[in-house]
Amino acid sequence: GINAEYGVDLLPEINQAPRILSNHTAALQQNNFKQEIDNYLKTRSSLFLIDLRNKLLLSTQEAIICGTKYNVPLINSLVLYTGVQAISQFQNKSSQVAPPSTHSAPMDIFQHLASELDTEGRYLFFKCLSKPTPIPQQPHALFQLRIVVFI
């Protein structure tokens, strides 16, 4: 797999829990969105995914002012928070012999964003994945490789 090819599992940083220096969940606090994400990560209730795109949209007036129909800080926070949860789940399962599964709640969120958003939304989603992360122990490329494993 990709982990063996790039030796990602051999890096000592991979076993350290990510520590994020910014308040990446601030945008998620509005309208209990973080709680909904956490509930989905625990229960995988499909209701969360059904309404996810709508939760990422701005009001018509805000969209005109911002020049985009999407709440970009919310997408960025969602992707980073979900990515950290995916890494954490993978690390908890890394002691098992089986390869990482693409069938996990964080990856369901990413797969849903990649397949159900329109062109603008997908652009913002993948742009967010390609940004450097504020995780000091995990280099940017390492974070991306972990996400690629699942998508």
pLDDT for 7-51, tens place per residue? 655 656 555 555 554 577 788 998 899 999 999 999 998 899 999
Is residue 3 within 8 Å of residue 149, measured between CB atoms? yes
Give alpha helix (H) positions in 67-118: 72-93, 105-116
- Residues in the chain where the model's pLDDT stays below 50: 1-3, 21, 97-100, 136-137, 139, 141-142, 150
The pTM score is 0.74
Measured on CA atoms in the order 26, 32, 37, 43, is the torsion positive or negative?
positive
For the stretch 30-42, pLDDT in tens is 889 999 999 999 9
> For residue 58, how far is the Cα from the chain centroid?
20
What span, in angstroms and rounded, lies between the C-alpha atoms of 12 and 14?
5
- Percent of the chain topping pLDDT 90: 41
